[in-house]
Chains A and B, each alone.
Chain A
């Protein structure tokens, strides 16, 4: 086995998940759905309005019911085209930081009469594991990205067990 670049199929290579959709509504309306409390609460929460401090460094409090509360850290707000935050989906109750979260980015672009919305969630391979299970110091190098991981995972997965 040798390390090879992963392929682009399924939008999952390069340490990221990338998905998009075309919406028959203006960019401003899609922006509202992404950033306004009552909307975010219904598509990314359990119904109740999310608490949102819409500014870089602000917190968007996502309520995922039995899975817990997720104080998501807003990274960038560039209305109505770009919105980014860090989401610590594996750490309920913990404020998202560089080490415990993935970066979620939304890109909004005019598409005909509507909007093309693209979402990118990245940084999976760089996530730290809980301190109590990892005594080795330093995750300074993240150069082995998901490109290699996926490509090889597929190959391992397809290889008959020894």
Chain B
């Protein structure tokens, strides 16, 4: 569970979201220098955000010359989308259980606490 929450938390920051979006658009991946040129934040700040994204498993870096070049890891995003779907399914199950319980408490007097 924590893994997916980590992904969601990593994406909760608008700058990181923008970075992920930009990296996803770059066919050959992107470096911190290129990414920073596009943002009103320092290269150092970008590096920090990239670290959060990488720890959450959302991007992967590989060395390209003097810099790291990052690309998006689709699997983790896909897994998180599936996790959200699963969480919704669990609520469907709970609602069904609530319905069954409420409908089986036939007499008001037998519904404990209401008599």
Which A residues form the contact surface with B (CB < 8 A)? 1-3, 10-12, 17, 19-21, 23-25, 28-30, 32-34, 36, 38-39, 42-44, 89-90, 115, 117, 119, 121, 124-130, 133-134, 136, 139, 141-144, 146, 148-150, 152-154, 156-157, 159, 161-162
Which B residues form the contact surface with A (CB < 8 A)? 1-2, 5-6, 8-14, 17-18, 20-21, 24-25, 27, 29, 48-49, 52, 55-56, 71-72, 74, 77-78, 80-81, 84-85, 87-88, 91-92, 94-99, 101-103, 105, 108, 111-114
Q: Which of B8, B72, B101 contacts A124 (CB 8 A)?
A: B8
Q: Are A117 and B21 in contact (CB under 8 A)?
A: no
Q: Are A144 and B13 in contact (CB under 8 A)?
A: yes
Q: Are A12 and B88 in contact (CB under 8 A)?
A: yes
Q: Are B11 and A149 in contact (CB under 8 A)?
A: yes
Interface SS, B side = helix
- Chain B nearest Cβ from A17, distance in angstroms: 5
* Cα(A17)–Cα(B97), bound, Å: 18
Residue in A closest to B102 when the chains form the complex, CB atoms: A25
* Cα(A162)–Cα(B94), bound, Å: 39
Q: Which of A2, A23, A38, A130 has the most CB of B within 10 A?
A: A23
* Cα(A36)–Cα(B108), bound, Å: 14
Neighbouring B residues of A20 by C-beta, 8 Å: 95
Neighbouring B residues of A36 by C-beta, 8 Å: 112-113
- Extra pairs beyond A1-B25, A136-B48, A157-B77 (9, CB < 8 Å): A1-B24, A19-B88, A21-B98, A28-B108, A125-B11, A143-B14, A148-B17, A156-B72, A162-B29
Q: Which of B29, B71, B91 contacts A119 (CB 8 A)?
A: B91
Q: Are A17 and B9 in contact (CB under 8 A)?
A: no
Q: Which of B18, B55, B85, B112 contacts A133 (CB 8 A)?
A: B55
Neighbouring B residues of A117 by C-beta, 8 Å: 95, 98-99
* Cα(A103)–Cα(B55), bound, Å: 26
* 5 A-B contact pairs sorted by A residue (CB < 8 Å): A2-B21, A12-B84, A25-B103, A124-B84, A152-B77
* Cα(A162)–Cα(B81), bound, Å: 19
Neighbouring A residues of B99 by C-beta, 8 Å: 21, 23, 25, 117
Q: Are B101 and A42 in contact (CB under 8 A)?
A: yes
